[in-house]
Amino acid sequence: MKTMQLTQKQKTLIGMGIAIAIALLIFILWYMITHPVFTAAVTDIWIILLALVVLVMNVFLIIMLWQIIRLIDFLLFELKPVLESLQETSSTVRGTATFVSDEVSSPIIDASAKTARVKGSLRFVVDSLTKGAQQSTRGRQGTGTQGDTAQAAPPPPWGAADPAAGSGPAADASDQQTA
């Protein structure tokens, strides 16, 4: 915030204004003390002016009271039903969301999870049977005339990822995401 510095001329004018106001007040008090008839007339005028001010303030107070009554009426009879309707609507939306979550989304998610588990289990069983058949075929061929002595690796344990076959938890997770 920028502070404003008063110049010497401004300070002098302010000092003179205060001095004139004090002198005027002293003069008015002296005049009222020395002239009681004038003082009585001024007092009567001020009493009348104060009564008028109180009257105007009472009118404004009555107007404000009327506006407060209208505001309360608006709140009770127009806004309250709207708020109750809004509360009822939000309750309905909450119930609908709960119903959809419980009766639609959860069963679909459960079915998808079970399908992914069955798919993973079947993939494991099929891979195990295929690799076992390949090993037995290679084992017979290895004892034959071809002289093939290489043996296939055993199937991966349950839950281990087999990148060649695309099975395991990583493949199951990608299956669930696409479903």
> Domain locations in the chain?
12-178
SS3 call for 142: helix
Lowest mean pLDDT among 43-57, 61-75, 107-121: 107-121
Positive or negative, the CA dihedral 159, 163, 167, 169 is: positive
Which pLDDT does position 62 carry in this prediction? 97
Residue 100 predicted with pLDDT over 90: no
Q: Is the pLDDT of residue 133 over 80?
A: no
How confident is the model at residue 130, as a pLDDT?
85
Query: Residue 83 in 3-state DSSP?
Result: helix
Residue 134 has pLDDT above 70, yes or no: yes
Q: Is the pLDDT of residue 63 over 60?
A: yes
50 pLDDT band, cuts 50/70/90, is very high
pTM of the model: 0.38
Predicted pLDDT at 154: 62
Does pLDDT of 36 surpass 50?
yes
Query: How many Å separate Cα 162 from the centre of its chain?
Result: 46
